[in-house]
Chain A
């Protein structure tokens, strides 16, 4: 399923949240999983997509004028008739209020590297670097390898964020040698749950994690994204901790629930899942953390640390 030409959703510069120090984060478009609670739904599809943000629209009508496919329909709440739209982006160009946006842009590797190198001084002085995120960048091993080789030649620290659903041998050959840190998302330990909420079995994900922990000599840091009532349950916590202990992980952290994906799903015309609309309240979050810690304490085999680092 690999495409040679990945699209990039965004390059976020100056992030303090995606690894150590000040970082530039590349969001790749395309993901093998289909998590219903995805907080970046615009990164799921590998193709370009159109987003409409109704709150920014001033009803000027320029978009309809520009669209050659008659795909702009002011009667639709999502504005764009998805059947007619060919995702050309003309409407976004003329929209004055940035209410329309074409998501997904191709960067030649050299150009992307140039963008990432703009902040090299910041990386150097903060102990930061580049983070590859998504979507799932491991879908594009050739492209990512070329990029990594260029970054490594400049001595840039690279962090990879992955959902773990990749072909191990390819990953090991093309990507692993050139990265410094992995954030590895584990959503469920139970296979049925995983299939239910992500559309795929987690076998590969868990196997890959196991192998990375035992074979690779870099920090692999597992993270569990909190989704109230779905991943953030006692049962799942317990099963995930069991798995991590067995795999020999030595640290873990929880990612707070992020509801911003819901709005985005609506903007790109995708069904909006029935999930909490707000962030977790501090006490809810604390409660989850306490439950998790409790489980961890009971099962601690002396290796798994908690909480792990402050990076998230």
Chain B
């Protein structure tokens, strides 16, 4: 999903590729965060939406959280204790695969047993939409 977007944003891409795996998830979420401010209409997605997401790897080496509330998105560089959904990837590579493979979606990663979801799966579906909506608005789809 985001790969094409990253291609289009070569600056961010360059920055990302230089980032240690541990950090890049945050970058990603920050990227999304900024899109809420920059892209007209995109903010609709989080109007009246509250939800707490935790992304992490099994060894907890990589962790980030996103909290949506009152039309706002806040990124934390750690795993919060309270969440609506927590996504645990087998390892950093699985996380990268998930975020950067062409036709990714969560079920495909589940198929490969590379990710485990705790909590409310519907939040993942919504997150998936927001990611693709971003591409859509950037006219990359």
> Do A and B have CB atoms closer than 8 angstroms in the complex?
no
Chain B residues near A (Cβ < 8 Å): none
